[in-house]
Structures are given as structure tokens and as C-alpha cells.
Amino acid sequence: MLPKDQNIIFFDGYCNLCNWGINLLLKLDINSCFLFCSLQSESAKNILSTKGFDKNEISDLDNIVLLKQSKVYVKSDAILEICRELGGAYKLFFFFKFIPKFFRDFIYSFIAQNRYKIFGKQSICRVPNEDEITRFI
């Protein structure tokens, strides 16, 4: 059972861009605000299906999902909430919230749909090392 106040970032475990982002967050998240979970995992299917996602389609999602205090954020909203939660100078990115959502999500979706072509794809999902294991579900 997960703590209700735990923030979970669901990401594409095969995507090089996503894995780069997770590696960056592991360094920046000095207060361990986030847990991480690959969209391809059974845990992601179980958790996100309780939030209205189709259990059979979760591993095929092409966007990041943030579960923050039982609220779900996707695409650009997820990125902006992550920046806000990190605090410090990263909180300034939250000002992008004033750009209309349809425009932010259009750019996000374009990158997400082309992420494998641009950044490449791993043949296996990211596996946390010994130091990271407590941060992954």
C-alpha cells in the first residue's frame, strides 16, 4: 500500500528521453519527493487503473503521468507540477502554466509521438541500481 501523500511519476521505461529525465530527477529531487514507476510494470497498471486508465492501454501511453496527492496530471501539466514540486529555481517553470494547455500539450504530444525516432529506444525497461531501488515501485 502506497502512502496517500506520495508523488509517483509514471514514465516509459523504454524511452531514452524519459530515462534521461528520470536520471535527472533522481539528482534534482534531493528531498525524495517522488517515486518512479515504469508504465510497462504491473504496478503502473494496478495503480493507474484505479484512476480511470484502461488497464490494457497503460503500457502503451505516450505521455508522462504524475500522481500527486491522489490527483492525476498528464502531459505538460505533469511536467509543470513536477517542476513546482522540485521547488527552487525549477518552480519558475510553472509560469508556463499561463500558456494555453492545448498549445503546451500540442508541443508535448509532438515530442512524445516522435521520441523514439529522435532520442532512441532501449530494448529493455530501465532497471534501478542499488542506490535507486527505494525510489522505484
Comparing CA positions, the residue from 76, 93, 85, 96 lying closest to residue 29 is 85
DSSP H helices in 41-122: 42-49, 75-86, 101-113, 115-119
How far is the C-alpha of 53 from the C-alpha of 55, rounded, in Å? 6
| Residue 1, in any domain of the structure | no
Count: domains in the chain: 1
| Residue 25, in any domain of the structure | yes
Summarize pLDDT for 26-84 with one digit per residue, the tens. 999 988 999 999 999 999 999 999 998 988 888 788 889 999 988 999 999 999 999 99
| Residue 39, in any domain of the structure | yes
Summarize pLDDT for 1-33 with one digit per residue, the tens. 555 668 999 999 989 999 999 999 999 998 899
How far is the C-alpha of 113 from the C-alpha of 84, rounded, in Å? 25
**For residue 91, what pLDDT band results from cuts at 50, 70 and 90?**
confident
How far is the C-alpha of 13 from the C-alpha of 22, rounded, in Å? 10
- Identify the domain containing residue 103 by its residue range: 7-135
